[in-house]
DNA sequence: CACTCGTGGAT
DNA sequence: TATCCAAGAGT
């Protein structure tokens, strides 16, 4: 068991937070919808990255009802570049569920809110505590890092089961009077003071409560096992245009990587007798009935995902007169701006444009 | 549980 | 340059 003086810890932590907290756009009010949007955006994503997306998204979709009624195309466009796109498709799905089942009011119980798509253990606790003042823990990476140091816990925080250990402890430690401030304070401390590599222990408001600091092991915690290296994939992509200047783009499948985003026609390539360019020509013909003249290689692009590395050879391609592609959308350059592309395909487009 | 699912920035 | 990371969830 731990020897933490819980009341003093809460007081020192929360008073520091109220003193030092950053002015962030999602802290202007406690609108459950905006709290929700911010929490989804902040999953695995830095505050500085999220801020402009949050401002734009809440301007485009200011209410839960507005998001529920929006076209998915426009929703994905507002998320373009933020990554983990299933987050926003789940968010819109869940918002529709709130409108149809809960009369547009975000539920305020752990059981009901956990049923919503995209709301896992962390987001459940974050929304309930911040928007409704319910004393539920919100255990993210910051919280596990801070608490592993405070209590000198040496469990591997990369293991799913470890989160439940911290949740159990935090049900006890969380402030029942100020759960919102307590949860946000833990995360704020992790973001600003109790950082992963070089924690600023000398200015830490809860240093006197920190077991790891007392033992001098704060830089050895938390324990976190390493991830695998991403798997390399060779690809070829065609920025396909016709003589009238139209582009031909493809909508990705509704599940899996970059679901429902748009892309330039492309295929995975193998090491074989056919060159990458020839494999791409064959693919365009077989998959889309598109006959194209390929220009010389424009260049190569590397795009790194969490678990994949795309190595893409990029070609500009001219559709032969009379060839009518199937399953590709014909758009002008101006119309293309309305569709959401992953960053990898933005790079592909820019590479061919640079050669003009 | 192990894997999938993005991106840009820090060290 | 390589690695790790940042307010995780779905399968």
**Domains identified in chain A and CATH numbers:** 6-220 (1.10.340.30), 231-353 (3.90.79.10)
Phi, psi of A310 (to 5 degrees): -90, 125
CA A292 to C1' B3, in angstroms, rounded, equals 38
- Residue lying closest to nucleotide C11, CA to C1': A256
pLDDT, one tens digit per residue, over A256-315 is 999 999 999 999 999 989 999 999 999 999 999 999 999 999 999 999 999 999 999 999
Cα A152–Cα A40–Cα A32 angle in degrees, nearest 5:
100
CA A350 to C1' C1, in angstroms, rounded, equals 25
Query: Is there contact between A109 and strand C, defined as CB under 7 Å from any strand atom?
Result: no
| Of A239, A259, A236, residue with least CA distance to A333 | A239
Q: Which nucleotides of chain B are near protein (any atom < 7 Å from a CB)?
A: 1-9, 11
Neighbours of A322 (CB within 10 A): 6
pLDDT exceeds cutoff 60 at A99: yes
- Coil, strand or helix: which one is A35? helix
Q: Which of residues 94-153 of A touch strand B (CB under 7 A)?
A: none
Angstrom CA distances, A26 to A34, A40, A80, A241, A299, stand at: 7, 12, 20, 43, 41
pLDDT exceeds cutoff 70 at A237: yes
Torsion over CA: A237, A240, A246, A251 (sign): negative
Q: Measuring from the CA of residue A42 to each C1' atom, give the nucleotide at the shortest distance.
A: C7
Q: Which of A7, A20, A39, A333 is catalytic?
A: A39
- Within its chain, how far is the Cα of A255 from the centroid? 16
Query: What would the mean pLDDT of A84-90 be, rounded to a whole number?
Result: 98
Which tokens hold the place of A51? Answer: 């801020």
- Measured CA to CA, the distance from residue A173 to residue A136 in angstroms comes to 11
- A80 catalytic residue (yes or no): no
Which tokens hold the place of A99? Answer: 């409108």
- Per-residue three-class SS string for A125-154: HHHHHHHHCCCCCCCCHHHHHHHHHHCCCC
- Measured CA to CA, the distance from residue A5 to residue A152 in angstroms comes to 15
Q: Measuring from the CA of residue A157 to each C1' atom, give the nucleotide at the shortest distance.
A: C8
pLDDT exceeds cutoff 80 at A355: no
- Measured CA to CA, the distance from residue A263 to residue A342 in angstroms comes to 7
CA A90 to C1' C11, in angstroms, rounded, equals 14
- Measured CA to CA, the distance from residue A328 to residue A269 in angstroms comes to 20
CB-based burial label for A340 (10 Å; 0-12, 13-18, 19+): buried
- Residue lying closest to nucleotide B11, CA to C1': A197
- Residue lying closest to nucleotide B1, CA to C1': A160
pLDDT, one tens digit per residue, over A148-173 is 999 999 999 999 999 999 999 999 99
CA A140 to C1' B5, in angstroms, rounded, equals 18
So what's the pLDDT on residue A261? 98
- Residue lying closest to nucleotide B6, CA to C1': A83
pLDDT exceeds cutoff 80 at A90: yes
CA A355 to C1' C8, in angstroms, rounded, equals 40
Query: Is there contact between A84 and strand C, defined as CB under 7 Å from any strand atom?
Result: yes
Query: Is there contact between A188 and strand C, defined as CB under 7 Å from any strand atom?
Result: yes
Instruction: Calculate the average pLDDT of chain A.
Output: 96
Q: Which of residues 23-52 of A touch strand B (CB under 7 A)?
A: 44-46, 48-49
A278-317 burial code (b ≥16 CB/10 A, e <16): ebbbebbeeebebbbebeeebeebebeeeeeebebbbbbb
CA A223 to C1' C2, in angstroms, rounded, equals 21
pLDDT, one tens digit per residue, over A3-25 is 799 999 999 999 999 999 999 99
Q: Measuring from the CA of residue A87 to each C1' atom, give the nucleotide at the shortest distance.
A: C9
Q: Measuring from the CA of residue A346 to each C1' atom, give the nucleotide at the shortest distance.
A: B7
- Residue lying closest to nucleotide B9, CA to C1': A46
Which regions of chain A does DSSP assign to beta strands (E)? 231-241, 247-251, 262-263, 266-268, 292-304, 308-319, 329-331
Residue A103 is classified by DSSP as T
Q: Measuring from the CA of residue A162 to each C1' atom, give the nucleotide at the shortest distance.
A: B1
- Measured CA to CA, the distance from residue A128 to residue A123 in angstroms comes to 8
């Amino acid at each position: 068991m731990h020897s933490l003086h819980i009341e003093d810890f809460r007081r020192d932590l929360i008073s520091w937070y109220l003193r030092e907290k950053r002015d962030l756009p999602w802290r202007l009010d406690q609108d459950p919808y905006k709290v929700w949007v911010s929490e989804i955006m902040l999953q695995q994503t830095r505050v500085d990255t999220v801020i402009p997306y949050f401002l734009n998204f809440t301007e485009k979709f200011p209410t839960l009802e507005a998001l529920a009624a929006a076209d998915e195309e426009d929703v994905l466009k507002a998320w373009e570049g933020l990554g983990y796109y299933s987050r926003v498709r789940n968010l819109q799905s869940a918002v529709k569920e709130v409108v149809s089942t809960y009369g547009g009011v975000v539920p305020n119980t752990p059981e009901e809110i956990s049923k919503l798509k995209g709301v896992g253990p962390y987001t459940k606790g974050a929304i309930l505590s911040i928007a409704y003042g319910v004393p539920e823990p919100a255990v993210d990476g910051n919280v596990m890092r801070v608490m592993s140091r405070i209590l000198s816990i040496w469990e591997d925080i990369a293991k799913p089961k470890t989160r439940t250990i911290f949740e159990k402890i935090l049900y006890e430690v969380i402030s029942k009077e100020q759960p919102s401030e307590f949860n946000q304070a833990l995360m704020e401390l992790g973001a600003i003071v109790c950082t992963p590599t070089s924690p600023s222990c000398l200015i830490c408001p809860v240093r006197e409560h920190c077991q790891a600091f007392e033992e001098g092991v704060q830089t050895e915690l938390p324990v976190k096992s390493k991830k695998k290296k991403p798997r390399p994939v060779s690809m070829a992509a065609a920025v396909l245009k016709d003589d009238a200047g139209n582009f031909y783009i493809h909508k990705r499948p509704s599940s899996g990587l970059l679901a429902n985003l748009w892309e330039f026609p492309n295929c995975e390539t193998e090491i074989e007798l056919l060159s990458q360019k020839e494999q791409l020509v064959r693919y365009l013909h077989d998959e889309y009935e598109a006959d194209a003249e390929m220009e010389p290689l424009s260049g190569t692009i590397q795009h790194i995902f969490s678990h994949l590395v795309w190595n893409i050879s990029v070609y500009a391609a001219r559709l032969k007169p009379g060839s009518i592609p199937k399953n590709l959308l014909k758009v002008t350059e101006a119309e293309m701006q309305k569709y959401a592309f992953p960053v990898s395909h933005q790079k592909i487009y820019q590479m061919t444009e640079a050669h003009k």
